[in-house]
């Protein structure tokens, strides 16, 4: 409670300093939210002049307690740009203390979304409504991807080519494996499989980097709002679709799996991409490929734990995510190979 009280005082000082409230404005109802494995998240009200407005604070955890390491300054730069663009479905980014000079830790203040997470919402409605919501999600993520790479600040890395980008992901699999406290044959197997099963390229664009049902809120209007942009980058949009699918396997339901063809169709309508680029098979490839970065963050936490550099219970818990992932990769690759063989057989039959 003492920590919350101190944060409330620092937050009040910060918001007054950036002109977010009157000099007599106060932060009230500061509450830490559960959700997310990386940053600390709070909601709070700013009471000023007889009114109150609710916001969310995303802040780095104290040194030594972070399971992942991402850059609030770069995240703020992107969120500020996207907020000004106004086309991407996300809560507006309002203020930031990117170095933590006032708040004591790097942090960003965003609009509060008055609604449940997509995951909670999907679990609260029947299957018919789930399918309808899934199509809204397809439209939301397609809208984000249609924003293109020009809205992304120049501080973000631009891949030299699609092959460079994909090869970079494959290399990450090997780098993540090499960083572990013990050897992992499954990650080495995945890297080899990815090299021999590349799909056709897609245009590189703004990618969320950790797009999944837990990082989408459902607003008061019932529409999806995308949150938690710490892994955003320029890349292949199917990385986001693949990641949603693999996380959906951990925490069902998977919005894509409810009706994969309908999801892809809606996505293509909004994004302008074609069905030979975005389909259940190519998403399946990216479900495996895209796991390297967020999985790498989890692996880093697990490795820190193994070497005595961390005591995060979340990392201890996520040790079990590795075997779970091994099974997903093996089953997923086998399923994709069987489906690809069927497609090739159908195409060969049609050509005769």
DSSP three-state, residue 277: coil
Cβ-based burial of 347 (10 A; exposed 0-12, middle 13-18, buried ≥19): exposed
For other proteins, give the closer residue by CB, 77 or 177: 177
30 binds other proteins (CB under 8 A): no
Task: Using CB under 8 A, pick the residue from 37, 112, 156, 162 that binds other proteins.
Answer: 37
Q: Which residues lie closer than 8 Å to 289 by C-beta, 6 or more apart? A: 166, 169, 170, 194, 239, 242
Q: Which is nearer to other proteins, 162 or 186 (CB)?
A: 186
Please say which residue, 276 or 309, places its beta carbon nearer to other proteins: 309
Please choose, out of 73-81, 183-191, 230-238, 260-268, the segment that lies near other proteins by the rule CB under 8 A. Answer: 183-191
CB nearer other proteins, residue 76 or residue 329: 329
Closer residue to other proteins in complex, CB, 13/31: 31
Determine how many CB atoms are found less than 10 A away from the CB of residue 112. 15
Does 198 participate in binding other proteins (rule CB under 8 A)? no
Q: Find the distance separating the first CA and the last CA of the chain, reported in whole Å.
A: 73
- Residue choice 313, 341, 345, 346 for contact with other proteins (CB under 8 A): 313
- Which of 87, 192, 274, 342 forms a contact with other proteins (CB under 8 A)? 192
Site stretch for other proteins (CB under 8 A), options 15-23, 42-50, 201-209, 311-319: 311-319
Rule CB under 8 A: say whether 317 interacts with other proteins. yes
Q: Which of 189, 197, 259, 265 binds other proteins (CB under 8 A)?
A: 189
Q: Which CB, 74 or 184, lies closer to other proteins?
A: 184
Shortest Cβ distance from residue 323 to other proteins (Å)? Answer: 3
Q: Which of 128, 150, 154, 320 binds other proteins (CB under 8 A)?
A: 320
Residue 102 interacting with other proteins (CB under 8 A): no
Give start and end residues of each alpha helix (H) in the chain.
Answer: 2-17, 72-85, 118-124, 127-146, 162-179, 185-196, 238-250, 260-271, 280-289, 292-306, 313-318, 321-351
Per rule CB under 8 A, is residue 186 in the interface with other proteins? yes
* Cis before 253 (ω within 30): yes
Q: What would the two tokens of residue 159 be?
A: 């891949």
Is 205:237 a contact under the CB 8 Å cutoff? yes
Instruction: State whether residue 53 is helix, strand or coil.
Output: strand
User: Counting contacts by CB under 8 A, is residue 32 touching other proteins?
Assistant: yes
Give φ, ψ of 89 to 5 degrees: -75, 95
Is there binding between residue 321 and other proteins (CB under 8 A)?
Answer: yes
Pick from 100, 103, 87, 93: nearest CA to 15: 103
Q: Residue 342 is encoded by which pair of tokens?
A: 């069927």
Distance CA 145, CA 32 (A): 31
What residues from 200 to 229 belong to the interface with other proteins (CB under 8 A)? 214
Identify the CA nearest to 156 among candidates 82, 63, 264.
82
Residue 184 CB, shortest distance to other proteins, in Å, is 7
Toward other proteins, which CB reaches closer, 25 or 294?
Answer: 294
Nearer to other proteins, 101 or 334 (CB): 334
- Kindly state the smallest distance separating residue 229's Cβ from other proteins, in Å: 18
- Counting residues that bind other proteins (by CB under 8 A) gives 32
Gap between the Cα atoms of 159 and 141, Å rounded: 21
Contacts with other proteins, residue ranges (CB under 8 A): 32, 34-37, 119-120, 177, 182-186, 188-189, 192, 214, 250-251, 313-314, 316-317, 319-324, 326-327, 330
């Amino acid at each position: 409670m003492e920590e919350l009280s101190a944060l409330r005082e620092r937050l009040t000082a910060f918001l007054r300093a950036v002109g977010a409230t009157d000099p007599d404005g106060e932060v009230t109802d500061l509450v830490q939210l559960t959700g997310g494995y990386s940053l600390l998240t709070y909601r709070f009200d700013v009471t000023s002049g007889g009114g109150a407005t609710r916001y969310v604070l995303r802040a780095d955890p104290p040194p030594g307690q972070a399971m992942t390491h991402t850059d609030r300054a770069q995240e703020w730069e992107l969120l500020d740009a996207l907020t000004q663009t106004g086309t991407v479905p996300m809560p507006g980014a309002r203020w930031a203390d990117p170095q933590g000079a006032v708040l004591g830790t790097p942090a960003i203040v965003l609009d509060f979304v008055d609604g449940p997470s997509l995951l909670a919402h999907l679990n609260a409605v029947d299957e018919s409504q789930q399918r309808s919501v899934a199509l809204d999600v397809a439209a939301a993520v397609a809208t984000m991807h249609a924003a293109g790479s020009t809205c992304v600040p120049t501080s973000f890395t631009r891949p030299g080519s699609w092959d460079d980008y994909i090869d970079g992901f494959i290399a990450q699999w090997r780098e993540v494996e090499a960083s572990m406290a013990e050897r992992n044959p499954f990650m080495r197997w995945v890297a080899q499989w990815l090299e021999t099963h590349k799909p056709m390229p897609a245009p590189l664009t703004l990618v969320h980097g950790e797009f999944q049902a837990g990082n989408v809120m459902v607003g008061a209007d019932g529409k999806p709002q995308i949150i938690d942009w710490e892994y955003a980058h320029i890349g292949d949009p199917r990385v986001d679709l693949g990641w949603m699918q693999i996380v959906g396997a951990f925490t069902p339901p998977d919005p894509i799996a409810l009706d994969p063809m309908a999801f892809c169709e809606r996505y293509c309508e909004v994004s302008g991409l074609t069905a030979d680029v975005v389909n259940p098979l190519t998403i399946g490839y990216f479900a495996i490929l895209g796991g390297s970065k967020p999985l790498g963050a989890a692996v880093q936490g697990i490795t820190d734990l193994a070497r005595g550099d961390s005591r995060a219970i979340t990392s201890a818990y996520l040790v079990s995510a590795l075997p779970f992932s091994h099974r997903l990769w093996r089953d997923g690759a086998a399923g994709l190979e069987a489906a690809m063989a069927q497609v090739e057989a159908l195409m060969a039959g049609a050509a005769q």
